[in-house]
Chains A and B, each alone.
Chain A
Amino acid sequence: MIDRRSLLAGAGGLVALTVVALPASATPADAAAAITDLFGDRPFSQGPVVIEAPPLAETGNSVPITVRVDRPVDDPDRITRLAIFSENNPRPSILEARFGPAAAEISVATNIRLNGTQQIICVAETAGGELYRAVHEIRVVVSACTTLEAQF
């Protein structure tokens, strides 16, 4: 005999089945590991790295971000490489940019995906091997990783 309790339990099970498993997000420790992978285990110093991004993004699918280092490119200790990391995306590394001799300034603007409210980390490396780090928090209303089945 089917009573109300078992019916409700069964319905709950059906709901659980239809929920699509969301990708596991990274943790700040994963982001730190990704930074170590790319730049080695070196200390950071205070530097002229600037992250320009909105404090609040309505959708995480495309968040405009500009990363800039206020240091002339003809400085002997110029910035050669920078990378952007996320503390909460499924994959902590977002992009890595290398600047060549023809660049006029150390600056790149693009759009990135964000899985929820989190801190964005930018690490820049100088020709002398020094590392600079900047952090920017972005609140995200709708995560980029919530696309469910048949939501088109």
Chain B
Amino acid sequence: MFNTRIRVPETAVAGEAVQIRAMIMHPMDNGFTYTTQGTIIPVDIITDFTCRYLGDEVIHVRLEPGVSANPIFTFSLRATETGPVDFEWIDQHGDVTTASATLTVT
């Protein structure tokens, strides 16, 4: 599990495009950096990010080491009804980090 920061507005009007931000605190080691002892740090990255709203996929991103440390994604979803917005990150070892928020639609 890694720390995450997500930003989902509390309320939205039905039909509105809602901007979402999701970030995970992860070093995204690209395999080209060294420790102070001079040993190379192997690749260690988040490989998949998924956001779902009411169970439907909003966006799925497949990440490579070319994405910066603490990867952040800003995107938007179409608000239709009150429900959960779920976030899921999977790292290269298969560990899953999740976060969730509720979007209230008026």
Chain A: residues with CB nearer than 8 A to chain B? 20, 22-23, 61-63, 66, 73, 86, 89-91, 93-105, 107-113, 144-145, 147-152
Selected contact of B61 from candidates A91, A95, A145, A149, CB within 8 Å: A95
Contacts of B61-80 to chain A: CB distance below 8 A: 61-69, 71-78
Chain A contacts of B72 at CB under 8 A? 109-111
Chain A contacts of B73 at CB under 8 A? 108-110
A122 to chain B, nearest CB (A): 13
Prevailing SS type, chain A contact patch? loop
- For chain B, the count of residues having a C-beta within 8 Å of the partner chain is 33
Q: How far is the CA of A149 from the CA of B67 in the complex (A)?
A: 22
Selected contact of B74 from candidates A110, A149, A152, CB within 8 Å: A110
Selected contact of B59 from candidates A94, A97, A145, CB within 8 Å: A97
A147-B63 CB under 8 A given contacts A104-B78, A109-B74, A112-B68: no
CB pair B34 A102 closer than 8 Å: no
A115 to chain B, nearest CB (A): 9
Q: How far is the CA of A108 from the CA of B53 in the complex (A)?
A: 16
CB pair A147 B60 closer than 8 Å: no
